[in-house]
Amino acid sequence: MYVKAEDVLPEALLEEIQEYVQGVEIYIPKRPETRLGWGERNGTRQLIRRRNREIVRRYAQGESIPSLMERYHLSYDSIRKIVSAGRKE
């Protein structure tokens, strides 16, 4: 989102910032405590959790790792990590 600095910043702060940069766009990041983690905004993280639970369930029911690799388009190591993490939960 683009906002004009003079519309939102006090004049003294704007002048202080102009000591460092003028006439360029700068990015001001959110505070760390308000930032969302990867995939939290668009639901990707939740989808991956759901997929991983399904992989663990299918493996527990006897589906083979090669079959899971083909079904989910993941590597052998990825399936093993998911299954191993699922056992610990």
Domain of residue 68 covers 5-88
Q: What is the pTM of this model?
A: 0.59
**Tens digit of each residue's pLDDT (9 = 90 or more) over 5-60:** 999 999 999 999 999 999 999 988 888 777 777 777 788 889 999 999 999 999 99
Total count of domains within the chain: 1
SS3 readout for 2-69? CCCHHHHCCHHHHHHHHCCCCCCCCCCCCCHHHCCCCCCCCCHHHHHHHHHHHHHHHHHCCCCHHHHH
